[in-house]
Amino acid sequence: MKNVIEVNNLTQVYGQKTNKPYKALKGIDLQVANGEFVAIMGPSGSGKSSLLNVLATLQAPTSGTVKVNNQDIWQLNDKNLAKFRGETLGFIFQEYNLIESLNVFDNIALPLSLQKIKKAQIKKAVHLVAKQLNLTEQLNKFPTELSGGQKQRVAAARALVHQPSLIFGDEPTGALDSNNAREMMNYLSAINMENNISILMVTHDAFSASFAQKIHFLSDGQIVQTLERHNASREDFYRDVLTTLGNFNE
């Protein structure tokens, strides 16, 4: 199967010029196959956010390569990187990251407007994805008028609307209560399976992680263990994750 992400020997060092440089990532190798749903777990300070920032093109690595769809992303210039980000990637963050000055429709439509897509097509795509995420009634509202769960669904719709090859999630359920978190994860699974979009999600929450097909455990800047779901049910996989985490803590 083709890989959507290929990471080779990735390192990230902060404060290189100071006398106390901090190595956040110590030579990570990682692949995500097309259509795969991968989670990355680890305690705070393990390098989760650093890894996601580099993969999501938000911060350049110190060394190593990141290929997305065979394209070495850190070889792109600013303009092409922005274009790449806009066309290929989708983001869902813990703090929703919606633009309060735009209503739900315009928030979801943003990635498409940036790609200079025609109004009629934008409308069609937004309504389609809004239907999928049960947001049709909310399209004219502003983010401040929505509940947390609704906001995160808007964020998901925005990540999905331009049919990216890959969606990044950074603690997407972190700000949600358990009901909303379950609902959100169900939506993400559906997006992964129905739209065949790969998802890479960083989380510290075992429940959310159990929706993935594969979980990498990160500790001290390195991948220390990988857990695969294979054909197990989500509930069984959840138990496996909890066990693994328990072993970690011992």
Partner 1 sequence: MLSKIALSTIKHRLKDFIVLFTGLTIAVAIFFMFTTIANNRAFLEANSIIQQITLIFVIGEFLLGFITLIYLTFANNFLLQLRQREYGLLMMYGATKSQVSQLLFRETLILGSLASVVGIFVGMALTAIAGNVLQKLLYLNLPHWQFFNGRGLIVTIVFFAVILTINGIWNVLHLKRTQLNDLLHANQVNEKLPTKMGRYFIFGILGIILMILSFIIMHKIAQMGLMGLILALILNVSGTFLIIRASLILILNVLQKLTGSYKGLRRFTIGQLTFRLSAFDKLLTIVTLMFALALGALSVGRGFQMTVPILASQNSAYTIAIKDPTKQETANIDKLTGVTFKTTYQYKMVNKAKLYLSKAEFSQVNLPVLATNGTMQTQESLKIPKTTYADAKELANKYPSALNQLLVNITANNVNVTANNMGAIDASFLNKTAFAVAKGQSGSITVIRVKDYNANETTLAALVKSQMANHSDFSTDTITGTYPIVQLLRSYMGGIEFMGFFLAIAFLTMLASTLMFKVLSNTAIDKKRYRILSMIGANTSLLKQTNAKEIGVIFGIPMIIGFLDVWFGLPMFKPIMGNVYLGFGFAAVVVVILYVLYYLLTVFLYQKILALKQKHN
Minimum distance, C-beta of residue 69 to partner 1, in the bound complex (Å): 15
User: Which residues, including other chains, have CB under 8 Å from residue 81's CB and lie 6 or more apart?
Assistant: 57, 73
Nearer to partner 1, 81 or 242 (CB): 81
Distance, in Å, from the CA atom of 218 to the CA atom of 29, rounded to the nearest integer, reads 12
Minimum distance, C-beta of residue 113 to partner 1, in the bound complex (Å): 5
Give me the residues that bind partner 1 (CB under 8 A), please.
56, 58-62, 78-79, 81-87, 89, 91, 97-103, 106, 109-111, 113-119, 122, 142, 144-145, 158
Minimum distance, C-beta of residue 55 to partner 1, in the bound complex (Å): 13
CB burial of residue 149 (10 Å; 0-12, 13-18, 19+): middle
Nearer to partner 1, 50 or 210 (CB): 50
CB 87 within 8 A of CB 115: yes
Relative to beta strand 22-33, strand 166-170 is: unpaired
Nearer to partner 1, 84 or 248 (CB): 84
Which residue is it, tokens 């902060």? 14
CB 64 within 8 A of CB 51: no
Token pair listed for 3: 């890989």
* Cα atoms in the Cβ-side hemisphere of radius 13 Å centred on 197: 29
Nearer to partner 1, 26 or 83 (CB): 83
Nearer to partner 1, 33 or 114 (CB): 114
Minimum distance, C-beta of residue 2 to partner 1, in the bound complex (Å): 23
Minimum distance, C-beta of residue 137 to partner 1, in the bound complex (Å): 18
